[in-house]
Structure 1
């Protein structure tokens, strides 16, 4: 498994699955189900895993539960020799990462909206403290912080930063300006499941896609072969649209439970369970693949 800080050793091509955190009937973390889910998506073509991303509901987990999630996925990734990325956005969080973790995913500071200069200063401090490379997570819909291409290019030049999960929700002139002018050592990963194809066309080399819990092999093929198969792209855009019909990961968990892959569809507050209609819409799209 990749653990070195040297950017040339960080292979971020392909689909990374940001795993849900399954809960058992008593409300605790279903560690065995998590490990089984991780193995299945890797068997089906995922290039690596992300732990404690937004899809994993990390804010609702206790410190002990977060540690249990990371420990379980470290074991899976060690056995498969694939990278494990863990959500960690502060100096303290990255210092606490186990040695086997390949990279940290650091969120652009949310809520405070510190401006580009503040974002850069924060990420420099986190990168300097981190024993592993950073992938910056840029998702302005959640953080409230927009960043122009010049700021993103400055982030790409921070020592120890090797990539970005780019999830602005749109493909516009700023996206094109940034994605078509990436430093050689730096990888852009699509963070919007429905926009993987156009982002690949512009210069992204992979994706962090929650929808790839489902139809994993198809998402892996899309990234591997590019966006040339229009029918495949259309099918996967339909999957993504149905999965995100309600707040993530509520629909995804309902579908995984219906497939028998996790013991319950439970989420924790402030999330509420997905409607049966949303679950059934995803299952109908999957049946048409």
Structure 2
């Protein structure tokens, strides 16, 4: 569940059948509550819109019941609740949820139509804030994908070290030293210093050198991990691997700086 703020009103959104639904219950705070919702739902234009939407997206929509409802829509004596609409027609565009986060929710297409009934201004702000939410979700997905890629590359890198550089008889403490040493090969190739050198130069900072890396640096570092695992498997000595990785880092950072915002920090990489 996520929330958006529209004209100082907090509105919940949920996922249902992999689709986005927006809380009509929350949106009603901008108007007159349930009575206002009933008027919207009994309106003939609303019923026709809901019916068309269901016919397009819902193969189980009860068209026979819909025709009965449509014939009565707009009459002064006619009343229709969201629950009755769902039960009679097997509709999926409007749903009700019980419990702590309960209420009436509508598919975003329908919620935008309901927002127009509240006011054109409310609809514009609702669409804007909902799109902002979707943009933030996409950024989060992109960052998650980068993290998963980094994890995979890290596993490939450590496996290459384990299979090629660590003798079976080595104790755990010395094994850790080998891993740290190879991590520093990447640090020197990318940042020009080891992890310890960075800590000595930045005693006031928490974390490690990679915690302060830019997105471009992290992308490049992930690529270096993959390349170093290949070099290790090929049996290249550490000194040669370091030289090659450093040249790749310089080249890739120049490319990344050209395809992203030119104000992004570009470290002054030099050949080691």
Normalised by the length of structure 1, the TM-score is 0.20
Of structures 1 and 2, the larger Rg is shown by 2
Higher helix share: 2
Normalised by the length of structure 2, the TM-score is 0.21
